[in-house]
Amino acid sequence: MQSHDFVITTQYGSIPHVVDYKDMKCFNRTFQIYVDDFIYNGSYYLNKDVLPIKEFCSVSNNIIVTFKDKSNLLRTRRGNRKFTKDEYIEFIEKADPDFYMDFDTKKIISRGNKIFSSNFIECKNIEDFVFNLKNGDKIFSTNFINELVNNGQLITYKSEIIYISDYSSKPECSCCSNFEWDYVIHMCDIKEICALTVGMIHNFTQLDNLFKEIQKNILIIDLIKIKKCD
């Protein structure tokens, strides 16, 4: 990974609301998959003979497995349950991810010859992300991007400012230039999932643009600000 970068935080092994992501450069990163999304009563991975998680999820990207909660309490839609170390080791052996979070230390461990350059930070929201970025952290999970989209919010990065807006006006970006924005607003109004797809692609593209700028000039980190649009 780059000196400053992010992982794609998934839900149930996929990028929320995005199906065909493979030709989009902003998604060409390690996927973070939560063990919580795959271990529950009746789960496929409680069976004896299972597919490796890449094959199961039809993913070619590197995969890192982590917990949602570092207390080793699995939080799933089918109820919460404690996860023992032996159960976790068995899951990792079955799933065979590229990287995984150590059960005890919560540090990232590599399987095989691949190297994960740093532990990464779980951010609660965009403000938390900027705070940790300025605090010297380098690798970030991106569930905060998923939450922004689910809450109908778009981010646009321009000249060291991260603008936060809703769908009411078309953002100034190349990734949305092909969309008739009134139609996107219409999709939002009728709660059509395609609107969420547009938002997810837009937000990850903007985050990708931000990190490209940081990789060119690390000094801009101190200048980054958040501005909420009316």
Q: How far apart are the first and last CA of the chain?
A: 36
Alpha-carbon gap, residue 70 to 223, rounded angstroms? 32
Q: Which residues face 162 on adjacent strands?
A: 157, 226
Residue 143 · residue 154 · CB < 8 Å: no
Provide, rounded to the nearest whole percent, the portion of the chain with pLDDT above 90.
66
pLDDT band at 214 (very low <50, low <70, confident <90, very high): very high
State mean pLDDT over 216-223.
Answer: 94
Residue 142 · residue 6 · CB < 8 Å: yes
pLDDT at 83 (0 to 100): 82
- One-character DSSP codes across the chain: --SSEE-EE-BTTB-TT-S--TT-GGG-SPEEEEGGGT-STT-GGGSSS---HHHHHT--S-EEEE-SSTTSEEEETTEEEE--HHHHHHHHHHH--SEEE-TTT--EEE-TT----S--BPPSSHHHHHHHHHTT--EE--HHHHHHHHTT-EEEEETTEEEEE-TTS--S-GGGTTS-HHHHHHHHHTT-HHHHHHHHHHHHHHHHHHHHHHHH-GGGGGG-EEEE--
Q: Which amino acid is at 73?
A: L
pLDDT at 151 over 90: yes
- pTM assigned to the model: 0.91
pLDDT band at 48 (very low <50, low <70, confident <90, very high): confident
pLDDT at 1 over 60: no
State mean pLDDT over 13-22.
Answer: 90
pLDDT at 157 (0 to 100): 95
Mean of the per-residue pLDDT values for the chain? Answer: 90
pLDDT at 29 (0 to 100): 93
Residue 154 to residues 121, 131, 162, 188: CA-CA distances in angstroms?
A: 21, 19, 10, 13
What is the tens place of the pLDDT at every residue in 118-135? 678 899 999 999 999 999
**Weakest mean pLDDT among 45-54, 113-122, 147-156:** 113-122
What is the tens place of the pLDDT at every residue in 88-118? 999 999 999 999 999 988 888 888 767 676 6
State mean pLDDT over 27-49.
Answer: 90
Residue 107 · residue 85 · CB < 8 Å: no
Alpha-carbon gap, residue 22 to 24, rounded angstroms? 6
